[in-house]
Chains A and B, each alone.
Chain A
């Protein structure tokens, strides 16, 4: 109809394919880029980093039909360029005063008792393989006055570099975090 603007919808399916032809790898890369964009916006002091990240991704997805043919190489720099533009526009927007700004609700309610968290954590620790359980307890063992020296010792014991050990411990920790989150959600439903 005359005067009516055509609303374009972002092609998220095409965006995933652009990131990787393998669906699993594409989803992994999408989530990674999203998390890093949030981290970047937080690092720049933005009060709504998730919103700005979603805006960035939406703009890339909208632009994709035009650029996918000409753009070659890693998509990450393109995301970064769009993110910088989004950030500049964000800085130019009028911001609510501190009185008008909506208070941020806490992530969790205080109904979640320590006991619930500990029970879930116990359950999640039990679900780990024995070597993973031992590693995470060793890596974060209390009572070590110098954790740098201690972690070098256990890295050497495991035949790993310090960074490799750190990543391995972190991946186990991430699984514990996801397990705990799921357990707590199940407990409240």
Chain B
């Protein structure tokens, strides 16, 4: 089996996608063609990118222009149409396609619930984005430049809306999980929260009088969720221990996985609020290297309550 190219720049990947969608100028296209025939590793990588392009189409993630090109230029062989069907099957099974507007709509149709606001908000957001760019469009001579800018704006809108929906879904799941940790009280005044969250960065100094990140924990709050930024040197998983101001261990979490967001890599621990009454605390992260865990980072925070 050929070895893949070590690194593919964003520009090279963009060139391959442009080739697949028939957007390349002739000289650039011929360069790609020669490489496809002569370089087995490159041709396999192009096949992998082609599969991802099919996934993006199946998930409704292509811009309007790319969708047209995909349908008119790309999807012309039986093999590609079979692969599209395969991608759709993967999406139905929840595998192979990132969480997307199309996959979520299909899930919603199956469960007889469809968030109608989704379609309208996407249309409104795209219209707003297009209107915002409209005032600068007339400054450009080339129609091609204008179309390219609109395509990028549409892509950015789709990405932001997708991210918003995914964050909302994640928040909902986390609240459900928090509710399972402790049963909700029989009656709760409005305004109380099941969980409160705080983002901590490493190495916050613990000097007398220096401000610590504070977490406000009101009565009725059941869970204190602490999100630890490990972006500098992320490992797949950690152990985490919570300590009081005297260094006594309050609780420990084993095998917590790191998770990537759009801008950070985070480790999340959820501490029952009863374990952390108002006061100062630290969290220690431990890497699992062989038999003995090794402390790799420490975070500090203060709990304030009513």
Query: Which residues of A are at the interface with B, using a C-beta cutoff of 8 A?
Result: 29, 32-33, 35-40, 42-45, 47, 49-50, 74, 76-77, 79-80, 104, 106-108, 112, 114, 117-118, 121-122, 125, 136-137, 140-147, 149-150, 152-153, 156-157, 161-164, 166-167, 169-171, 173-174, 176-177, 180-181
A163 touches B4 (CB 8 A): yes
Interface residues on B, range: 35 or more
How far does the alpha carbon of A85 sit from the alpha carbon of B34 in the complex, in Å? 14
Query: Which residues of B are at the interface with A, using a C-beta cutoff of 8 A?
Result: 1, 4-8, 19-20, 22, 29, 32-34, 36-38, 40, 43-48, 51, 55, 73-74, 76-83, 85-86, 89-90, 92-99, 103, 162-163, 166-167, 169-170, 234, 236, 258, 260-263, 265
- Contacts A117-B89, A117-B92, A173-B51 given; indicate if A107 touches B81 (C-beta within 8 A): yes
Residue among B1, B99, B263 with most chain A CB within 10 A: B99
* A114 proximity list for chain B (CB < 8 A): 89, 92
* A107 proximity list for chain B (CB < 8 A): 78-79, 81-82, 85
Lowest 3 A-B CB distances belong to which pairs? A170-B48, A107-B81, A142-B99
B34 touches A80 (CB 8 A): yes
- Contacts A145-B262, A161-B6 given; indicate if A136 touches B95 (C-beta within 8 A): yes
| A149 to chain B: closest residue by CB | B260
How far does the alpha carbon of A157 sit from the alpha carbon of B230 in the complex, in Å? 14
A36 touches B36 (CB 8 A): yes
Q: Give the secondary structure class of A's interface.
A: helix
* A180 proximity list for chain B (CB < 8 A): 86, 89
- Contacts A107-B81, A170-B48 given; indicate if A36 touches B76 (C-beta within 8 A): no
- Contacts A108-B85, A149-B260 given; indicate if A77 touches B37 (C-beta within 8 A): yes
- Contacts A147-B98, A163-B45 given; indicate if A42 touches B77 (C-beta within 8 A): yes
